[in-house]
């Protein structure tokens, strides 16, 4: 497995030829940006990765849904060969889209943090994401609802679980992805790529 990590936030912090910094990548469909993405994915494959996860810290805080531009970019990254698009930055979970049989996790929310809780968006209600693969083929995605409290995390129960499950089912459905309840988690069973259009 290869993890390719980028950030779209704070271009001023980008690494340069003579100074350290972040691996900044513009969210853009410009040829030079897409060539950089394609090159990184190809390098990972050449080095033997059977699963390539494209991680991107992108977008503004407390945004509930991905913008059309972000959706197009993530879809293009999948088309260039990534197996998973793993987005994060909003501090709240956004939906999951299956594109060509591969998951786009637009924003995975928080897991452990020290942010104040937004009383409307409830960034203290999040998920642990578990993706199961077999020889490079996605089998399923499991979302385990969690409740966050000032640098602590616990399994969500009762009202918190119900609220997280409802929110994630709606946000995923908006993107054409179904989730099913199974005990303490939500599951999306993967289908062959030709079934995900």
Q: What is the DSSP letter of 70?
A: H
Cβ proximity of 58 and 9 under 8 Å: yes
Which phi and psi (to 5°) does residue 26 adopt?
-65, 135
The number of folded domains in the chain is 1
Looking at residue 196, its pLDDT comes to 47
Looking at residue 191, its pLDDT comes to 81
The low-confidence residues of the chain, meaning pLDDT below 70, are 192-197
Looking at residue 34, its pLDDT comes to 98
The rounded distance, in Å, linking the Cα atoms of 172 and 186 is 11
* pLDDT tens digits along 85-108: 999 999 999 999 999 999 999 999
Cβ proximity of 124 and 94 under 8 Å: no
- What is the reported pTM? 0.93
**Mean pLDDT over each residue of the chain, to the nearest integer:** 93
Full domain range(s) for residue 41? 2-195
């Amino acid at each position: 497995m290869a993890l390719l990590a980028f950030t779209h936030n704070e271009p001023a912090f980008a690494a340069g030829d003579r100074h350290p910094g972040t691996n900044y990548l513009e969210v853009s469909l410009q040829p030079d940006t897409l060539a950089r993405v394609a090159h990184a994915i190809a390098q990972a494959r050449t080095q033997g990765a059977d699963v390539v996860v494209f991680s991107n810290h992108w977008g503004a805080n407390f945004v509930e849904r991905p913008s059309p531009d972000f959706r197009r970019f993530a879809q293009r990254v999948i088309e260039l060969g990534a197996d998973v698009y793993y987005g994060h930055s909003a501090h709240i979970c956004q939906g999951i889209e299956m594109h060509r049989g591969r998951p786009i996790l637009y924003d995975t929310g928080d897991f452990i943090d020290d942010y104040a809780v937004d009383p409307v968006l409830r960034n203290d209600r999040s998920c642990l994401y578990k993706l199961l693969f077999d020889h490079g083929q996605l089998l399923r995605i499991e979302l385990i609802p969690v409740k966050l409290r000032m640098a602590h995390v616990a399994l969500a129960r009762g009202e918190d679980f119900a609220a997280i499950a409802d929110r994630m089912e709606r946000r995923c459905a908006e993107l054409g992805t179904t989730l099913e309840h199974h005990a303490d988690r939500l599951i999306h069973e993967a289908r062959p790529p030709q079934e995900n259009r």
